[in-house]
Amino acid sequence: MSLGKVCRAGKAHIVAILLVLVALAMLGLISALGVERFTVSTNTTTPTTITMVIFPNGSRITVSEARVATTPPSIEFRGPVISEEVLELRVAVYLSNSSARVNETLWIKVVFEGEKAFFSDYIILYVLNSRGEKVYGSGIVHPHPTPPLRFEPPKRISYILSWRAIKDPHFKVDVTPGNYTLAIEAGGIRMSIPITVTP
């Protein structure tokens, strides 16, 4: 190999490293500017029924026909239920309770049903206080791999999220007793559910 080729290869390697460093610096700058951040989970399984559970500590499990040995936590959804339907998609939201104490966890189950359930690829959740300030934000992305021939997409997909009624380090707004709103966008459908935080 000639010296010229070695120099060109070395320069290309240095340029690639510099580009990576610039990209990392830009990510750090965006973070420093206080851009809103989400806790994002990704679900890539495609059985006939999917349930993803996201725990308060950030860990998550996927419950599906492909993983029958995994069971979700024992959660009872006794709170309000709200649903909307558009074309071939129905989205229902179930709450574990209509209220939560400060420092307590509220569980939220979002269910997609219908022909378009598999193709509804995101959920965005915000919790707002009575002044309209965001106290919490979370997002779920469900990317869709290219389905094989004769693939039957699942017609029911559910996600279980949670919100712990405490000050979030990203939004930096105190959570005190009062009225709050869960603002949810799922599969292009927007819904809001009033809840109460108690002492």
Q: Which tens digit of pLDDT belongs to each residue from 94-109?
A: 999 999 999 999 999 9
Residues 24-55 pLDDT 10s: 444 443 333 333 333 434 343 344 455 555 55
Backbone angles phi, psi at 16, to 5 degrees: -60, -40
Other CB atoms within 10 A of residue 117 CB = 22
Check residue 70 and give its pLDDT.
38
Residues 7-30 pLDDT 10s: 555 566 666 565 555 554 444 433
pTM of the model: 0.65
> Which pLDDT band holds residue 157 (cuts at 50, 70, 90)?
confident
- The string of DSSP letters for 24-62 reads HHHHHHHHHTT----EEEE----SSEEEEEE-TTS-EEE
Cβ(124)–Cβ(185) under 8 Å?
yes
Backbone angles phi, psi at 190, to 5 degrees: -105, 135
Which strands sit side by side in the sheet containing 189-198, from one edge to the other? 39-42, 134-141, 122-129, 178-186, 189-198, 99-101
